[in-house]
Structure 1
Amino acid sequence: MSNWETMSQDELEKQYSPSRWSHRMSPDEVVKSHVTALRAGTENAQRISQTQLNIPYGEGEDEKLDMYMPHNFSPNCPLLIYIHGGYWQFLTLSCTVKEESGFMAASLVPKGVAVVAVDYSIAPKGNMDLMVSQVRASVVSIMQRYPSSELYLCGHSAGAHLVAMVLSADWSKYNVTPDIKGAFLLSGIYDIVPIVSTYVNEPLTMTNEVALRNSPMCLLHQLKGSISTDVVIAVAEHDSPEFRRQSKDYYKSLKSMGLRATFEDVPNTDHFNILEKFVDHDYSLTQLLLKMMGKD
């Protein structure tokens, strides 16, 4: 069990500040390096992929997605839907976050997998309820657009939280049930109540009530629709103890419910390069993802 409620404010802030735990660089340096790596990876992915950009999945100005497809793309090609992180509020200040979220296509498109990068209304423009509803709607839209494709989800940090919220959706509200074959959750946060009293919540302005209804750990009873989904929960060796604890707790909860969950503790990585390494075909998690899709 967590003892976050007994932590000092300074310790709580530190635990939920991923950049302060990197073993490679200072907090500012690791964030700048991360943005540079994702941007470069996405530019490379655009060079090798057939792209369709700014496809609407809803009526909101942020409700758009980018597709990175093999040149021999067919309607039954596996689709990986990627939900970006950034603590629900930013990744960079200079451009739309989905435009830096196609990097995984660099290693997946050559293997016949299409990558879909989803945008949503980050805070302070969007609130948590809206963001959760948007990513769920994006999955429904993609399923309807490509009904014969196998769907896989991947999210990092706040994006892993949003993927877990997709898995916890009450699909009766959408009149469809997406057949999600697999999900990769990387360095995620699954109980967002601890961040309500931290700096992270300043642009989000969540109450405890909002945090509770948007915490995957509080919605385990709604996971019965995901019983056939393969779920990989990965955490970096140099994630903070709280991030590591949250990943282990969520994994144990899924296993206790009979879900097909596996836990990956990735050595010599931090909160940022656990994701950046997906541009490498030989990276252990890339290989695991391709194996899940039958593309290894």
Structure 2
Amino acid sequence: MGGWRDMPAEALEQQYSPSRWSRRLGSDAVIQAHMAATAAGTRRARAGTRTALHVPYGGGDAEKLDIYLPADPAGTFPVLLYIHGGYWQSLSKEESGFAAPPLVSRGVALAAVGYDTAPRGHMDAMVLQVRRSVVFLAKRFPAARGIYLCGHSAGAHLAAMVLSTDWTGYGVVPDIKGAVLVSGVYDLEPILHTYVNDALNMSREVARRNSPLLCVPAAAPAACEVLVAVAQHDSPEFRRQSQEYGQALRAAGWSVSMLDLAGVDHFDIVEKLSEDSYVLTQVILNLISRA
């Protein structure tokens, strides 16, 4: 059968260490550069945009949103929820506003969500927090022209779990028109056998029930377009996971596009969302404008 189950432990660790696949910088340096770039981009976005910062969507310390608002005061704009990566254990909303300027300038609000990262947060709780943040946005902006999700790495996993939500008990069905999943992990079982699970402490049961690949719902009647994006310099395992999840969504009737971005790695594939001319920025804007 082959696949990740047959990999030696050391090879599996390498496959799930995205920083070891960058061609730009060494493993530690690319992570530091990513944190610096996203933090600086977020500071610029806050300085140049109308914002509502630290808006609570729940009672927990981390349960807050930073909302970057376009000029339209009526609230009839589309809202994009950005869900940060960091392997469910680092980064925060403080580094998650960098993509706002190109969106806000074209009339799209960006909301950056905070959630309890590990070890304080556990996987079930993180998934629930992000789902509740989507419900909060649906209620806060009832006139919004749709909600869009954009998640990177662990954030792409959380966005994919939002797509699998049964909204029956939430009091509202959010109008999710699109999702952009960037360099994500959609099957958590391989993670159990790597260093990543040291902080997450997931059991096989927790990993399976929180694996989007294992809980793909039939496509909702309302159109929701999903873009699954991956970097040329993502690891073969990350690239495989993206391919398999995209195929699983398509098989379940979802409208799916795959985008393989040349010349970028696991980190600058999203850092460049601060740039108007970047191909993924343009793809996101086109996705929103088509709805």
- Give the TM-score category using the shorter length: over 0.9
Tell me the SS of whatever aligns to 1:111.
Answer: coil
SS in 2 for 1:294: helix
| SS at 2:199 equivalent | coil
In the other structure, the counterpart of 1:272 is 267
Matched residue, 1:134: 129
TM-score normalised by structure 1 residue count: 0.95
- Counterpart code for 2:114: D
Deviation at 1:82, TM superposition (A): 0.4
Where in structure 2 are the equivalents of 1:1-296 lying within 5 Å? 3-91=3-91, 97-149=92-144, 150-220=146-216, 222-225=217-220, 228-294=223-289
Q: Using the alignment, how far apart are the partners of 1:58 and 1:113 within structure 2?
A: 24
How far apart, CA to CA, are the structure 2 residues paired with 1:124 and 1:46? 29
- What is the RMSD of the two structures over their aligned residues, measured on CA atoms? 1.4
- 1:26-53 C-alpha deviation (Å, 9 max, x unpaired): 0011001111110111111112210111
* CA shift for structure 1 position 60: 1.2
| SS of residue paired to 2:263 | coil
Q: Report the secondary structure of 2:191's partner residue.
A: helix
- Separation in 2 of the partners of 1:148 and 1:39? 31
Secondary structure of the structure 1 residue equivalent to 2:127: helix
Paired residues of 2:218 and 2:253 also in contact (CA < 8 A): no
Quick one: distance in 1 between partners of 2:171 and 2:274?
Answer: 36
Q: 1:2 to 1:43 in 2, by over 3 A?
A: farther
How far is 1:118 from its partner? 0.2
Residue deviations 1:63-120, cap 9 Å, x none?
Answer: 11100112334311111100000000012xxxxx101100011211111111100000
Change (3 A) 1:182 1:130: same
**1:223 Cα deviation (Å)?**
4.2
Matched positions, count: 290
Distance apart, 1:13 and its partner CA: 0.3
Check whether the contact 1:227–1:260 (CA below 8 A) recurs between aligned residues.
no
Amino acid at match of 2:187: D
Q: Which amino acid aligns with 1:253?
A: A
What amino acid maps onto 2:95 in structure 1? E
Work out the CA distance in 1 between the residues paired with 2:258 and 2:160: 15
8 Å CA contact 1:16–1:240 kept in 2: the answer is yes
Equivalent pair of 2:219/2:253 in contact (CA under 8 Å):
no
Residues 78 and 107 in structure 2, CA contact (< 8 A), matched pair in contact too: yes
Query: Is the 2:130–2:162 contact (alpha carbons within 8 Å) kept by the matching residues of 1?
Result: yes
For 2:42 and 2:48, locate their aligned partners in 1 and report how far apart those are by CA, in whole Å. Answer: 10
2: CA distance, partners of 1:226 / 1:37: 39
Corresponding letter in the other structure for 2:9: Q
CA distance in 2, matches of 1:147, 1:19: 40
Find the aligned partners of 1:142 and 1:2 in 2 and give their Cα distance.
43
Aligned 8 A contact 2:83 2:150 in 1: yes
Q: Deviations over 1:185-238 (max 9, x none)?
A: 000000011001210000110000000000001101x24337621000000000
Deviation at 1:257, TM superposition (A): 1.6
TM-score of the aligned structures, taking structure 2 as reference length: 0.97
Distance between the aligned counterparts of 1:294 and 1:90, measured in 2?
Answer: 32
Does structure 2 conserve the Cα–Cα contact (< 8 Å) formed by 1:73 and 1:112?
no
AA of the residue aligned to 1:169:
T
> Larger deviation: 71-80 or 180-189?
71-80
Gaps of 5+ in 1: 92-96
How far apart in 1 are the matches of 2:157 and 2:27? 22
SS at match of 2:266: coil
Question: SS where residue 225 of structure 1 aligns?
Answer: coil
